[in-house]
Amino acid sequence: MEDPKRGPQTRDLWAGVGVDPLGPAVDPPAMVRSSPVLALLAPVALACNLSGDVSSESTDTVSTSTSATATMTSSSSTEAPTTSEGPTTSTSEGSESTSTTAAESTSATAGTTTTGTDSGTDSDSDTDSDSDTTGDLGPMVDLSDPQLYSFEFRADEADPEASEALAIQLGYLDTQVIPRGKLVVYLHGAGAPEVCGSKAHGQLLAGMGFHVFSPCYRSDYGIGNCGDDIGGCRLEAFEGVDHHEFIDITPPNSAELRIVKGLHYLQEKNPEGDWTYYLDGEEPRWDRIIISGISHGASSSGVIGMNRVVDRVVMLSGPLDTDQAWLKGQPMTELDRFYGFTHTDDDQHPGHLAAFADMNLVGDPTPVDDAAPPYGGSHRLVSSAATQNGHGAVQAGGSSPKDGDDNYLYMPVWETLYGVTP
């Protein structure tokens, strides 16, 4: 029987590549899921410990990793401009990193404060979603020591079978805010980056209450080599299943298995975060996951939303894939869960608008500059704000425009795209 969450094209080849399940996050007596009422009262209990604007790039990050190779980073790093779609090589954001030893790591203690979030009742009320799970109290996150947790680790640290795209993967969780009970998987652009994803954007999303993970995956094959089936290349890079003759990507090097292995790794290093809440056995729990990305990662996010039932799809500077068949396919995720954001100073902007139309995204292209949410209810958002890099401006970081108080102009846009505001 076909699995409605995986779709007709998926052939499960992961046999023998599984992970030994990890133990519970903390001692069972301490793992008491709070009711929605207690979750609402949690901010009062934590008020004396909260520390200012956690979405600021100046926030310090603290790692709980016990591995000398999983490093703590400072969120004062400068975001490098994102490269355009194509087989180019991205560069690291250039932040300083320091190793954290086992003696320096933090751990949960008896009697810590945990909270769950009623995942069926959040602020994302613009549409009725099949992903809502009434009565699900969400991940049990330890809020007793509020801070921004930041993790950097190589893909082969999480999975010894991984052999390609072995750069630095990123994970973020901010316990200074009440968790939303959703994971954002953020996909990087084309090429072979030294750091997979955006540190600034990941930290910003964590400040909104999301768990955040940016996996490394194969995005260096050059979509021009995929002919009239770019979607097949993207799907193979995601699943590790044969969909296109040009590339050969195995499960350990696929984005989907990287997500599974990454969540197990983060659970081991940070059990306080309850990262494996976002797993259903040895598969991602897609109905609690927002798939998002920029450029090549935006197009790949669209393909994933076509082939999995996810909570939401957020595409920044993408998709592109002009005239490709997958854009007009029937998505497994409800169409009103897809969102796109593009900048007029991006050379690819006309292609983004064409892709929005081919996908039949909700609404018409709608300017966000000098406007307020919900931007007429459109899911095709456009900016013309001044920037030196229109392609990279739509994610947090160096080229994203700010106001006179050093706040991101696009904060309300991102809150709308990711469902923080209805």
pLDDT string in tens for the chain (422-residue length): 434 444 434 333 333 444 343 333 333 333 333 333 334 444 433 333 333 333 333 333 333 333 333 444 433 333 333 334 443 333 333 333 333 333 333 333 334 566 676 554 444 434 444 444 557 889 999 999 999 999 999 999 999 999 999 999 999 999 999 999 999 999 999 999 999 999 999 999 999 999 999 999 999 999 999 999 999 999 999 998 889 989 999 999 999 999 999 999 999 999 999 999 999 999 999 999 999 999 999 999 999 999 999 999 999 999 999 999 999 999 999 999 999 999 999 999 999 999 999 999 999 999 999 999 999 999 999 999 999 999 999 999 989 999 999 999 999 999 999 999 86
Calpha distance 276→282 (Å, rounded): 10
Q: Where are the domains of the chain?
A: 28-417
CA nearest to 306, candidates 373, 230, 380, 226:
230
Calpha distance 358→325 (Å, rounded): 9
CA nearest to 359, candidates 392, 382, 333, 390:
333
pLDDT at 36: 38
pTM value?
A: 0.75
Cβ neighbours, 10 Å, residue 21: 11
Give the tokens for residue 253. Answer: 């090097």
